[in-house]
Structure 1
Amino acid sequence: MKKTLPEGFLPGERLTFEKFTQWHEDNRKVSSIVLSSMSNEIQKQYERYEDVWSIMHRMRELYAVQDRHIRYAVTKAFFGARMIEGSFVREHGVMMLSLVEKLKDLQADLEKEEMYVDVILQSLPPSYDQFIINYNTNGLEKSLHELINMLVQ
């Protein structure tokens, strides 16, 4: 197991017995809280770890791959979304906003909100071409929620 220093200490820095004792006690408390939040089966896998950093590091290693798969699926759904001609724009807008929120939660931000707006506009059927031309020609800079409300109106 990799030994870690208390937070805020640098390698080679002198650590007093009092500071180390306090860190060790804090680490024990936090480790107990983290372990108690797990199911018994998972708890047994992590009880052998000496500090909370090791527990969290191992969990990140195990579950980061799952986040990548989820992010890929949400990104694919977002860029591949197409509104069916004749369906309700409100439902399509809500779905697109939901995908944007999921992408943001997964830290898959697309840099600027304009990118989200472009993808949403591209997901609309041909009957919205005039709206898209007007939106782009007039240089409107609306939030995602304002854009969806404009589409609904």
Structure 2
Amino acid sequence: MTAHNPLSFILDQNKLTGPNYNDWFRNSTIVLNSEKIIYVLDKKPPKEAASDVSEAKLAKFEKWWGYDLQAKIYMLVSMSIELQSRFEEAANDTDIQLHLKDLYGVQTRSERHATVKELLTTRLGDGTSVHEHGVRMIGIIEKLLGLDVVIPGELATDIILLSLPPSFDGFVVNFKMNKLEATLEEFVNKLTTYEATIKKEKHVF
């Protein structure tokens, strides 16, 4: 990996093996954005320059292919040896990206479905602390983010509220009536405090 980009270590430490395609692609876009060459992934390569093309257009043409080659190198050196040998003859980085999407897109959809199902069906079980449960739910939400599923904060909070047993009904009512706002971590801490309160009350009784 080229040494001049301090972010290149992200790709060095997270090489593409296949199943980690989404994480790898997200890291790749971070590095390419830092180089200001991410646009080569979104635009089709320019047609081959004609012999009578102007110097300005020729310079633009050569600049695009130079950046494209740079992006391709970033991609190749951050792959496993097996994948490198498969894609090193690819015409450009866009071809590499399209083939990778075809290879691992179905797997990603399957993982996304399973993760969404886990988020919506997980419930706070007997003997499990609400803090432990909340941390698990946040972990699932963050996993979905890695699968390109963005869940707004309010919706994430509502999903966690729905996963709680009736003993937390008082907390749910108070939280909604007062329209409290909190990050997911702060929200889980509030639940932990409430759980300690109801346990203390039970002990007193």
Tell me the TM-score normalised to structure 2 length: 0.61
Question: What is the correspondence of 1:1-153 to structure 2 with a 5 Å cutoff?
Answer: 4-5=45-46, 16-110=57-151, 112-153=152-193
Judge conservation of contact 1:85–1:127 (CA < 8 Å) in 2: no
Deviates more, 1:124-133 or 1:16-25: 16-25
What is the rounded CA distance, in whole Å, between the counterparts of 1:132 and 1:27 in structure 2? 52
Deviates more, 1:131-140 or 1:118-127: 131-140
The SS at the match of 1:16 is helix
Name the count of aligned residue pairs.
144
What is the rounded CA distance, in whole Å, between the counterparts of 2:101 and 2:66 in structure 1? 24
User: Residues 52 and 126 from structure 1, CA distance in 2 versus in 1: closer, same or farther, beyond 3 angstroms?
Assistant: same
Identical pairs, percent: 35
The runs of 5 or more residues in structure 1 that have no matched partner are: 7-12
Please state how far the C-alpha of 1:128 moved relative to its aligned partner.
Answer: 1.1
Deviates more, 1:18-27 or 1:94-103: 18-27
User: Residues 32 and 137 from structure 1, CA distance in 2 versus in 1: closer, same or farther, beyond 3 angstroms?
Assistant: closer
Q: Alignment RMSD, CA only?
A: 2.4
Please state how far the C-alpha of 1:124 moved relative to its aligned partner.
Answer: 0.8
Tell me the TM-score normalised to structure 1 length: 0.79
Q: Please tell me the residue identity of whatever aligns with 1:91.
A: E
Deviates more, 1:34-43 or 1:98-107: 34-43
User: Residues 48 and 89 from structure 1, CA distance in 2 versus in 1: closer, same or farther, beyond 3 angstroms?
Assistant: same
Q: Please tell me the residue identity of whatever aligns with 1:62.
A: L
Deviates more, 1:57-66 or 1:73-82: 57-66
User: Residues 115 and 28 from structure 1, CA distance in 2 versus in 1: closer, same or farther, beyond 3 angstroms?
Assistant: closer
Judge conservation of contact 1:81–1:123 (CA < 8 Å) in 2: yes
